[in-house]
Structure 1
Amino acid sequence: MPVLIESARLILRRTEERDLAFVAEAESSPENKPFIGQWSLDEHHEALTDPDLLHLIVQEPGGERIGYVIVTGLRDPNLSVCIKRIAIEAKGKGYGSEMLRSLRDWLFQNTGVHRLWLDVKTHNARAQHVYERAGFRAEGILRECIKVQDTFESLQIMSILREEYERLL
């Protein structure tokens, strides 16, 4: 499958059906599950052909899959694109930061996106720090918007605008 995005240590390519077992495993791993939403295999399968989404595998140049990312809103008339989900299995190696910067750069350089945004659970300080370093700014909190068993969790909305991205260059 052709490479969509390439950085010094990573390749991002479109997810294929053969990758879906890996995606499900990464999504439900104990290190990722508390921080990201969960989709069924059918939802992931449908996403592979949705023209409004990018469902990408993150891998090392040698082919070792280390995670995946989902981007939504590619056809949004307001040019507001969402990084829906990031799941990286190899923690603490800088892959998440490198993937985010590479994806951010590709989106701003290859699409008409005006606003790139994401949400992150308020208790996920590690991810919030990564997003801030990539130029994302906190916009506000969706208070107790996700029910997790018998409790509720809040989401921090973060974004970067095209003009803010261009100032980073």
Structure 2
Amino acid sequence: MKFETQRFIVREAGEDDLEYVMKLERAEENRDFVFQNSLEEHKKNLDSPETMLFIAEERLTGEKCAFILCSLKEYYDSFELRRIVVDSKSKGTGSELISALIKYAFEVVKANRFWLDVFTDNERAVHLYNKLGMVHEGTLRQSYKDYSGKYRDQMIFSILKNEYIKP
């Protein structure tokens, strides 16, 4: 186990979890908001010393309910949330998991900066990051070309160790 919340236990993913991760990435309700890696890319993530792939499981049932992909640049003390995808939306899962991940980044990993990017049209996520006290640092205009050929903007959010208020 890496960390836990009131409702979830978060552990490191293994190769046997990659089918679940890819299924969530490619689900219709998620695919417009998260990047999709190939199986080979996910296997490289599992082997990378800078990358962490976590699986969140329901504490009561042990059922998988989300995955989290992060990177740590130790030299810079910078912790990046690259991707979080939850199975069931609007239940507070994302909020609970990201709050715990921020705590993990600052209190366990000892990062100085926690940051992420998000597509500007992912209103649910943008609302959540603002609610969690993250700062909108700027917008990368037309920084990504999606599968349909459409250019999309990405917002950068962060929170620094000295801004983090321990729960």
Question: Where on the TM-score scale, by shorter chain, does this alignment land: which range?
Answer: over 0.9
* Structure-1 residue corresponding to 2:151: 152
* Structure-2 residue corresponding to 1:60: 58
Residue 151 of structure 1 deviates from its aligned partner by 1.4
TM-score when scaled to structure 2?
A: 0.95
How far, CA to CA, are the matches of 2:132 and 2:149 in structure 1? 34
Q: Deviations over 1:56-113 (max 9, x none)?
A: 00110121111100111x2331111110011111111110000000111011001221
Match among 45, 48, 66 for residue 47 of structure 1? 45
Match among 115, 118, 139 for residue 117 of structure 1? 115
Secondary structure, counterpart of 1:20 in structure 2: helix
TM alignment of 1:1-169, pairs within 5 A: 3-61=1-59, 62-72=61-71, 74-148=72-146, 149-166=148-165, 169=167
How far, CA to CA, are the matches of 1:111 and 1:58 in structure 2? 18
Q: Which stretches in structure 2 are left out of the alignment for 5+ residues?
A: none
RMSD over equivalenced CA pairs, Å: 1.1
Residue 33 of structure 1 deviates from its aligned partner by 0.4
How far, CA to CA, are the matches of 1:4 and 1:80 in structure 2? 18
Percent identity of paired positions between Structure 1 and Structure 2? 35
Residue 49 of structure 1 deviates from its aligned partner by 1.9
Higher mean alpha-carbon deviation, 153-162 vs 108-117, is at 108-117
Amino acid at match of 1:132: N
Residue 150 of structure 1 deviates from its aligned partner by 2.2
How far, CA to CA, are the matches of 1:75 and 1:159 in structure 2? 15
Secondary structure, counterpart of 1:118 in structure 2: strand
How far, CA to CA, are the matches of 2:64 and 2:82 in structure 1? 19
